[in-house]
Amino acid sequence: MSRLQIGVIGCGSIARHRHLPEYAENPRAVVRAVCDVVPHRAVEMADKYGARTYADYTELLRDPNIQAVSVCLPNVLHAKVTVAALQAGKHVLCEKPMATSRKEAEEMVEAARSSGKLLMIGHNQRFMAAHVKAKQMLHSGRLGAVLTFRTTFSHGGPERWSIDGADSWFFRKPEAFVGALGDLGVHKADLIRWLLEDEVESISAFVSTLEKPGDVEDNAVCVLRMLSGAMGTLTASWTHHPGEDNSTHLYCEHGVMHIAADPVHQVIVYHDDGDIERIEAGQVATNQSQTTSGVVDEFVDAIFSDRESAIPGSEGMASLQVILAAVQSAELGCVVSIGS
C-alpha cells in the first residue's frame, strides 16, 4: 500500500496540535483534505499541509481517494460524522469522548463492523511513556494487587486550549454534552481500566460548576468500585491554577506507585521491603508542552497491518459508560452500577 490518504474533519486545536502534525510526521500517511465550517481555518491548514479544503464533511467523504479520516469536532458531532465516514468506506480515528450516549456508541461500533473499516478512539493516555512503564511494573507482580487508587486530570480550563478561547463549544452543553468529565474525566476512566485491566462496577459522583461560564460542570469528583473490588477516586477539574495535574496513585498489597506526580521521575515506587524505584520514563504531555501522542501512529499501523487498533470502538464505549454512569449518579444522587 502506498501512503495512506488522510482527511481531517475539524481544524481546531486538537487537529492543529495533534492529528495534522502527527500525520505529517508519519512516513506512511499524507494529509490530502481538511474540512472546517470556518473557511479560513481550513484554508490555513490546507496551505500548511498541501491539502484540499472542504466546508462540508459530506463532500470530503465523497472523495474516493480519501482512505481514512480523523474526526476532530465538538462531542455532539462525533457519532454522526463517524458513522457517515465508516459507511462511506473510510477508516476513522475519532476524538474522545466517542459519543454522547451508549446508543450512539453502539451505532458507531456497528457501523465499523458492517463496513469492515477500522474505528479507533483517541485515548492518548494509554500511549504516554510513564503510563506504559507503570503498567509494565504493575503487572510484573511484585506490587501485588491494586487495593485503592487516586487518579486525577485537572488544568485551568479549555479556554486556554480551544481555538475559540472563552467562547469555545466546550462550555455549551448542546455541543459538549458534558464539561470536565468529557474533556478530562473520560481520559482517566480509560486509563484506570487499562492500567488495572479491570472494569468499573459502580460509581458515585458529585459534579458542579464552580468558576467557569456556561452550562456544563467544571469539576467532578467520583468514587469508583472495580469488579476486582479495588476502590478509588477519579477527579476532573477545569479550575487548577496554575499548571496541570495528570497524576495517578496506586496503593497495592506490597507497595505504592506514584505516576506523573514528580517532574523528574515520572514513575516512583515505594516497596514494602524498603526498596524505592525512581524511573525517568519521559514527560507526560500537557496543553502547554505537547509530545507525540502515539495515537496517529497506532491508527496508521493498525490499518497497514490489517488488525484491530489498541483502542477500538468497544474500548471507547466502555470508558464512555463510566462517564455516563457518573452523570446519572450526580443527577440522581445515588450509586450507579455500570450498565444499569
- Confidence at residue 210, expressed as pLDDT on a 0 to 100 scale: 98
Contact, 120 vs 312, CB < 8 A? Answer: yes
- Confidence at residue 340, expressed as pLDDT on a 0 to 100 scale: 46
146-159: pLDDT as tens digits: 999 999 999 999 99
pTM for this structure?
0.95
- Confidence at residue 290, expressed as pLDDT on a 0 to 100 scale: 53
User: Rounded to whole angstroms, what are the CA distances from 309 to 8, 306, 340?
Assistant: 19, 9, 28
Contact, 185 vs 153, CB < 8 A? Answer: yes
Render each residue's pLDDT in the chain as its tens digit; 340 residues: 699 999 999 999 999 999 999 999 999 999 999 999 999 999 999 999 999 999 999 999 999 999 999 999 999 999 999 999 999 999 999 999 999 999 999 999 999 999 999 999 999 999 999 999 999 999 999 999 999 999 999 999 999 999 999 999 999 999 999 999 999 999 999 999 999 999 999 999 999 999 999 899 999 999 999 999 999 999 999 999 999 999 999 999 999 999 999 999 999 999 999 999 999 987 765 555 556 889 999 999 999 999 999 999 999 999 999 999 999 999 999 999 996 4
Using alpha carbons, select from 240, 158, 230, 152 the residue that is nearest to residue 191. Answer: 152
Centroid of chain to Cα 29: 22
